[in-house]
Amino acid sequence: MLLNKIEAVREEVKKYKKEGYKIGLVPTMGALHEGHLSLIRRARKECDRVVVSVFVNPIQFGPSEDFDKYPRTLEADTSLCEKEGVDIVFAPSPSEMYGEGNRLSNDTLTYVCPPFFYVNKLCGKSRVGHFDGVCTVVNKLFNIVQPDIAFFGQKDAQQVVIIRKMVKDLNIPIEIIQCPIVREESGLALSSRNKYLSEEDKKEALVLSRILNNIKICYNKGVTDVSALKETAYSYLTDKHDLEYLEIVDKDTLEEKAKADDNTIVLIACRISGVRLIDNIYLK
Amino acid sequence: MLLNKIEAVREEVKKYKKEGYKIGLVPTMGALHEGHLSLIRRARKECDRVVVSVFVNPIQFGPSEDFDKYPRTLEADTSLCEKEGVDIVFAPSPSEMYGEGNRLSNDTLTYVCPPFFYVNKLCGKSRVGHFDGVCTVVNKLFNIVQPDIAFFGQKDAQQVVIIRKMVKDLNIPIEIIQCPIVREESGLALSSRNKYLSEEDKKEALVLSRILNNIKICYNKGVTDVSALKETAYSYLTDKHDLEYLEIVDKDTLEEKAKADDNTIVLIACRISGVRLIDNIYLK
């Protein structure tokens, strides 16, 4: 069932709670692909009722980012959700979420702000305010749907670490489950932003997963020095690849390391023809 | 029942939820007085189960404020709660709430940050970060206790406006009830910080309620010009009274007004012998 209003979701959820159903939430920005579907299938497996939110959240986009052109495909999303047995697709308007005519800023809205230590690095460095917007909307969705479990993709690994930290710091009574990255056969991590890429770009975009895989191979061969591991990337990069970051950090705390170990994650962000892509891999 | 652990509260609350009980939460910093008891009695009336939290929240105190000397009277508080039929007194340690050895700052903790517009005025002006600390701890308590209704005193009027704003902005499924200020016969608003006052100081402290009452009298006589209303205060003030602010604003939005009306609140903060006291009055 497709619902646009917060109150309608609350009413439906109330019925689920009364029945003692376990509720799963899959928060998305729509433009659903197999990555999202893997989250939905996991939710379907773990929970009695599954809610998928589809909301392109204005407050997590910077002023020069792709909020306006971000793909919106609600009809296709709804029919995919239906096929997967989703119980509620919650697709609110921005004004339903943030009020009519509200200027969307921390001058007028309450924000949930993750700690600087988790935010001042990786994607947060170039996307100032992004994770405040993410935590705020996820917190709102949590309060609206009150799920038992919420499902997030490993593709946005920093996001999941930050949301887990929010859940812990604010004592939110919700379990967070992270699902693995889904890739094309080529190795390209699925992303709604892949729609911006030409066929040519997509070939160039393989550099991300190749760099990550090669670092993992080197690690498995015994290289643990982080600088040495990073250096293995440079032979892959050409002037088609505008590398934003390549970092090797603790998978739970995002702390920098001098030596990689089994708790390490490698994250990369790179622009291909102006399209910002991210990817990551666990070393274990 | 006195509980110190978050998990113990969750377990107890789970039982209440299973029974379909309506749960009321009265968040306090302890040092309970008749003002708090009026909140508890209201909660008792509205709810099936009442939880009182007693927690002197470190992150809402500034570095030069009275966190260390703030009165802590848990034994007396617990026995008062017992007499009032409170079901749970939740009195966690700072480390239970914020983790062992955590540096308590927005570098390491997720904060809930109310909008600047509500914070950059009145008490928020001199108490930088105070309302971030308040919203964060109240959000945590809401997530731990999951009450149907939470009760706050009008004495901290700005706090209640900010908490209502947080509840609205973050879609928190909790009703907020504000209860009137309780006063000594003299007119002095009850406050845990009154314990810092000598008998002499308490007499001087009456200036707060006198100024407020006189402004209301003037308003009822037809004076609506805010500057004129404020000026009526100055005849009351001597060098014993260190006025921090006297503001006449909209009771729901805290917006400044040129003309007072029935939606107006008058708020005052004043130091007596170094003790910071606040009070307020609705013009209607």
Q: What is the mean pLDDT of residues B249-253?
A: 97
pLDDT at B261: 98
Check: complex ipTM more than 0.95: yes
Q: Which two tokens stand for residue A15?
A: 């019925």
Instruction: Tell me how far apart the alpha carbons of residues B208 and B204 are, in angstroms, rounded to a whole number.
Output: 9
Closest CA–CA distance from residue B13 to any residue of chain A (Å): 12
A144 interfaces chain B, CB cutoff of 8 Å = yes
A139: closest chain B residue by CA: B170
- In order of A173, A209, B28, B246, the CA distances from A225 in angstroms are 39, 20, 51, 61
pLDDT band at A198 (very low <50, low <70, confident <90, very high): very high
pLDDT band at A103 (very low <50, low <70, confident <90, very high): confident
End-to-end CA distance of chain B: 40
Cross-chain Cβ contact A110/B166 below 8 Å: yes
Instruction: Tell me how far apart the alpha carbons of residues A164 and A252 are, in angstroms, rounded to a whole number.
Output: 9
Assigned CATH class of B192-282: alpha beta
Domain A192-279 has CATH 3.30.1300.10: yes
Q: What is the mean pLDDT of residues B149-166?
A: 98
Where on the phi/psi map is residue B133: left (φ > 0), alpha (ψ -120 to 50), or beta?
Answer: alpha
Query: Which residue matches tokens 């709604």?
Result: A192
- Sketch the domain layout of chain B as residue ranges: 2-179, 192-282
B114: closest chain A residue by CA: A110
User: Which residue of A169, A174, A175, A253 is the best one to mutate when testing the B interface, meaning the one whose CB has the most B CBs within 10 A?
Assistant: A169
Q: Which two tokens stand for residue B257?
A: 């007004």
Cross-chain Cβ contact A171/B114 below 8 Å: no
Mean pLDDT (chain B, rounded): 97
A131: closest chain B residue by CA: B110
Closest CA–CA distance from residue A102 to any residue of chain B (Å): 11
B73: pLDDT strictly greater than 90: yes
Instruction: Tell me how far apart the alpha carbons of residues B191 and A138 are, in angstroms, rounded to a whole number.
Output: 37
How large is the greatest C-alpha to C-alpha distance in chain B, in angstroms?
Answer: 58
Contact A131, B110 (CB under 8 A): no
- 3-state SS, A45-59, equals HHCCEEEEEECCCHH
Where on the phi/psi map is residue A210: left (φ > 0), alpha (ψ -120 to 50), or beta?
Answer: alpha
Residue (of B244, B265, B65) closest to B161 by Cα position: B265
Looking at CATH, the fold of the domain delimited by A2-179 is given as Rossmann fold (3.40.50)
pLDDT at B101: 73
Query: Which residue matches tokens 């050895």?
Result: B101
Ranges of beta strands (E only) in chain A are: 2-3, 23-28, 49-54, 88-90, 111-113, 149-153, 175-179, 241-250, 264-272, 275-282
Q: What is the mean pLDDT of residues B223-238?
A: 97
A100: pLDDT strictly greater than 90: no
A116 interfaces chain B, CB cutoff of 8 Å = yes
- For B165-215, the pLDDT digits (tens) are 999 999 999 999 999 999 999 999 999 999 999 999 999 999 999 999 999
* Nearest CB to B110; choose among A109, A114, A143: A114
State phi, psi for B251 to the nearest 5 degrees: -70, -25
Q: What is the mean pLDDT of residues A104-112?
A: 94
Local structure of residue A129 (DSSP, 8 states): T
Cross-chain Cβ contact A171/B143 below 8 Å: yes
Q: Is A36 a catalytic residue?
A: yes
